[in-house]
Every structure is written in structure tokens, then in C-alpha cells.
């Protein structure tokens, strides 16, 4: 198994709560994703809404709703639970964002290679 780590960003990049969109390359393929920090924990998902496959953010790095308690898709306003990625309102109700495996270290947040 390849345990290569791909750097996403410094931990200080994210406030709490906060979100950060990224684009990295893994095995020659682009990975578009975002990281959310909430209650000291980090979560990462592909930047692809289960409704249409569109990116969730219209404003760069903004993936949270106004209360910063849910992930929001800016296209048709779907809302997702931060720590599970499950859609709880909107056109893709009951579907989920695709989780990305991350590793959080002192020097940064990394995508876990496969």
C-alpha cells in the first residue's frame, strides 16, 4: 500500500469553524476537494455536489452556511452535516458527499494517498 501524503494546506489556514477548497494531483489525476474544521476536528470531501456533480462553492473557499453549522451547496442550496457529509435538506436529500481521507499533522493537512 502506498501511504504517500499529498499536502493540502497548513492547519492555520482554517479557522474554527472554517473551510478551505483545494485542488491537488493524485496518481496523475486531479482531486478537487475541500476541508472543513469544526469543533477542533477536520473533515474533507470531494468538491462535487451529489445533486449534479457541480462544485459546491461560488465564493472560493466558502463551503459553510451563514451560521457555519452546515456545509452548503451554493448552486441549489443543499445542506450537509459537517461530520458525515449527509444531505439533510435540498434536492439531494439523503445522499452524501464523498469523503476524502486526510491526515492532520503538526505541519499541515494532507490527503492520504491510495
Provide the binding-site residues for ligand FES, judged by CB under 6 A. 49, 51-52, 54, 73, 75-76, 78, 90-92
Nearest one of 10, 12, 26 to 111, comparing CA atoms: 26
Residue placing its CB nearer to ligand FES in the complex, 73 or 111: 73
Q: How far is the CB of 32 from ligand FES (least distance, A)?
A: 14
Strand blocks (E) in 1-114: 5-9, 18-26, 29-38, 41-46, 70-72, 79-81, 87-89, 102-105, 108-112
Q: How far is the CB of 112 from ligand FES (least distance, A)?
A: 26
**Main-chain dihedrals φ then ψ at residue 105, nearest 5 degrees:** -120, 170
Q: How far is the CB of 48 from ligand FES (least distance, A)?
A: 9
Residue placing its CB nearer to ligand FES in the complex, 4 or 76: 76
Residue placing its CB nearer to ligand FES in the complex, 95 or 113: 95
Residue placing its CB nearer to ligand FES in the complex, 17 or 91: 91
Nearest one of 36, 60, 49, 62 to 90, comparing CA atoms: 49
Amino acid at each position: 500500500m502506498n501511504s504517500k501524503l499529498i499536502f493540502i494546506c497548513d492547519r492555520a489556514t482554517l479557522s474554527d469553524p472554517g473551510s478551505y477548497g483545494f485542488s491537488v494531483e493524485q496518481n496523475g489525476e486531479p482531486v478537487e476537494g475541500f476541508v472543513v474544521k469544526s469543533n477542533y476536528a477536520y473533515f474533507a470531501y470531494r468538491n462535487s455536489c451529489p445533486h449534479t456533480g457541480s462544485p459546491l462553492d461560488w465564493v472560493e473557499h466558502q463551503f459553510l452556511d451563514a451560521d457555519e453549522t452546515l456545509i452548503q451547496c451554493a448552486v441549489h442550496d443543499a445542506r450537509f452535516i459537517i461530520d458525515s457529509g449527509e444531505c439533510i435538506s435540498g434536492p439531494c436529500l439523503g445522499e452524501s458527499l464523498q469523503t476524502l481521507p486526510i491526515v492532520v499533522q503538526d505541519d499541515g493537512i494532507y490527503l492520504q494517498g491510495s
